[in-house]
Amino acid sequence: MKDLQSMEMFKSEIQSGTTVIMFSADWCPDCRVIEPFLPEVEAKFSQIDFIYANRDQFIDLCAELNVFGIPSFIAYHHGQEVHRLVSKDRKTQEEIENFLTDALSKC
């Protein structure tokens, strides 16, 4: 998973193909819970580009996108938002995989 470095990178990355931005933070316990299975999820959905966005570094982007809870995920296809899993609730591997399957069906 690539780390989001700048707003320019965000705008560029979401323009081609299918991209999922994962909003998270180092201090978030629910974010740490999903870390062990994320590589498996990424491998299973290899047609998606995954980008990690640190909520604390990109707080303005979070506000702009109405991301007020983490971990959260937003899927883009060729620059357009197609699906979101945004809440403060802990996510399971099954919930994330269902979200990704739904996102791909909308592309």
How far is Cα 86 from Cα 73, in angstroms, rounded to an integer? 6
For residue range 15-73, list pLDDT tens digits in order. 999 999 999 999 999 999 999 999 999 999 999 999 999 999 999 999 999 999 999 99
Task: End-to-end CA distance of the chain: give it in Å, rounded.
Answer: 21
Q: Which two tokens stand for residue 25?
A: 């933070």
Domains of the chain by range and CATH?
Answer: 2-105 (3.40.30.10)
Supply the pLDDT for residue 66.
96
Is the pLDDT confidence value at 106 over 90?
yes
Supply the pLDDT for residue 107.
87
Is the pLDDT confidence value at 100 over 90?
yes
Q: Are 79 and 49 in contact (CB under 8 A)?
A: no
Supply the pLDDT for residue 40.
97
Q: Are 42 and 36 in contact (CB under 8 A)?
A: no
CA neighbor of 103 nearest in space, from 65, 67, 70, 74: 74
List the catalytic residues. 28, 31
SS3 35: helix
State how far Cα 75 lies from the chain centre.
Answer: 7
